[in-house]
Amino acid sequence: MKILVVGTGAREHAICKAIEGNAELYSLMSNKNPGIARISKYQIGSENDIELVKKYAIQNNIDMAVIGPEAPLEKGIVDALEAEGIGCVGPTKEAAKIETDKVFMRNLFENYKIGGSLVYRVFDNYEDISNFIDDFGEDVVIKPVGLTGGKGVKIMGEQLKDAEEAKNYSKEIIDTKMGGHAKVVIEERAIGEEFTVQAFVDGKNIAPMPAVQDHPYAFDGDEGPITGGMGSYSDKGGLLPFLDQKAYDESVKIMEETVNAINKEVGPYRGFLYGQFMLCKDGPKLIEYNARFGDPEAMNVLQLLQSNFVDICEGIVDGNLKGAKFSDKATVCKYIVPKGYPGNAVPDQIIDVDERKINEAGAEVYYAAVNEKDGKVYSSSSRALGIVSVADSIEEAEKLCENATKYVKGDVYHRRDVGTTELIQKRIKHMEELKK
């Protein structure tokens, strides 16, 4: 079988590694990711150029395509490839609206009475926004309707100092059509601990994966600007130290109900579904969905996957997913990023990665937004590589992972506290205090 993986980052490197050896691997990526390049036949080009992806797939008689990022999903890459008879692991343009259209997502929750929703309103004018925020009287979250590359969501009490700033930012979203719509979604601010549950979905059946916690803030202690995610951990048993089986099961139920609702509304959802939840004092609330694997979370779960990933992908395409087995271990992933990230990194700096030493230290390397030239790895302005360790406890995996980071040299940094006992205790205490 010939499988094409679309996308360039560490998530796609992890997907390629999971396929390696079980299919003939092709990839279409926007720059030369050294990890993907060495295990696949590849074409460099924009993954958002649907015609290019289609042409490359047809030329190479691709049987199945696995789509990594959300942007090509929004452009209808799956619709285009399926029209050529190529099975896709990824939702159609309509089904991907669960991520690409936040009004669609929240309305689905309301219309199908799906649990774990938040109070929300959709606005297209300043006056109504202002009245709502004043009447609501509590902190809100302001969201553009469409995709903004993770940069559009702002929270009152964090990036937005007060109600005035929240109103002004909402107006800016409408005036500039940020995310492609002259509309804004305003939601209640959920207080708790964030976690991720991902699932394989074949249109009706879902196979959930172990829960993961990502770390969006750039610096140790959850300080600094929001990033694409600086690292993540998962625990034995598929739960998290602050997340029990009941809350996990409730989250999975929310995802099942969502998949059923999408099916009724716009047709089957096939692919990976990423649920970003907040564990609040009264249970999990859905913050948002992604119509793809998480990054870094894909690295945690794919390292643990015991079932054959290609069989799972075939099950997704054929609508007969049989479930997925994961090893009962903990994982820690730390992202190495260029200094100045996010926003001010100087690209094209050499990063020296001693993969052999990293592997000997008990960790794996997943390359992200780097470019290989003449055998050397060059940075971009985004995340460079993920280092992942698997062990019997988070503590042990963290030690292995942190130790392995010393074999990456260059103008880079990483969060040292991801997966540390101290940070995890802080999460547990936070939840305990909320539940009092």
Contacting positions for ligand GLY (CB under 6 A): 214, 229, 290, 294-295, 297
- For residue 292, the minimal CB distance to ligand GLY (Å) is 8
Decide: 90 and 66 in contact? Cβ < 8 Å. Answer: yes
- For residue 290, the minimal CB distance to ligand GLY (Å) is 5
- For residue 297, the minimal CB distance to ligand GLY (Å) is 6
Tell whether the torsion through CA atoms of 68, 343, 419 and 354 is positive or negative.
positive
- Nearest residue to 407 via CA among 372, 369, 377, 371: 377
| Residue number, 130 or 232, with CB nearest to ligand GLY | 232
| Residue number, 203 or 275, with CB nearest to ligand GLY | 275
Instruction: Write out the DSSP string of 382-408.
Output: S--EEEEEEESSHHHHHHHHHHHGGGE
Decide: 62 and 47 in contact? Cβ < 8 Å. Answer: no
| Residue number, 213 or 258, with CB nearest to ligand GLY | 213
- For residue 214, the minimal CB distance to ligand GLY (Å) is 4
- For residue 386, the minimal CB distance to ligand GLY (Å) is 11
- For residue 63, the minimal CB distance to ligand GLY (Å) is 27
- Which residues have C-beta within 8 Å of that of residue 110, sequence separation ≥ 6? 117
| Residue number, 16 or 133, with CB nearest to ligand GLY | 16
d(CA 342, CA 431): 29
Distances (CA, A) of 178 to 127, 157, 299: 19, 21, 30
| Residue number, 12 or 297, with CB nearest to ligand GLY | 297
d(CA 146, CA 103): 9
- For residue 94, the minimal CB distance to ligand GLY (Å) is 21
- For residue 96, the minimal CB distance to ligand GLY (Å) is 14
- Which residues have C-beta within 8 Å of that of residue 119, sequence separation ≥ 6? 136, 187, 188
| Residue number, 62 or 212, with CB nearest to ligand GLY | 212
Decide: 195 and 189 in contact? Cβ < 8 Å. Answer: no
Q: For 104-251, where are the E strands, in sequence order?
A: 120-123, 140-144, 154-155, 184-188, 193-202, 206-208, 213-214, 217-219, 223-226, 231-234
- For residue 41, the minimal CB distance to ligand GLY (Å) is 27
d(CA 9, CA 370): 8
| Residue number, 150 or 362, with CB nearest to ligand GLY | 150
| Residue number, 27 or 232, with CB nearest to ligand GLY | 232
- For residue 149, the minimal CB distance to ligand GLY (Å) is 10
| Residue number, 12 or 295, with CB nearest to ligand GLY | 295
d(CA 154, CA 158): 8
Q: By Cβ distance, which residue is nearest to ligand GLY?
A: 294
- Which residues have C-beta within 8 Å of that of residue 347, sequence separation ≥ 6? 338, 378, 379, 380, 381
| Residue number, 80 or 394, with CB nearest to ligand GLY | 394
Distances (CA, A) of 377 to 181, 315, 384, 433: 39, 36, 9, 45
Decide: 390 and 304 in contact? Cβ < 8 Å. Answer: yes
Q: Beta 363-367 vs 231-234: how paired, if at all?
A: unpaired
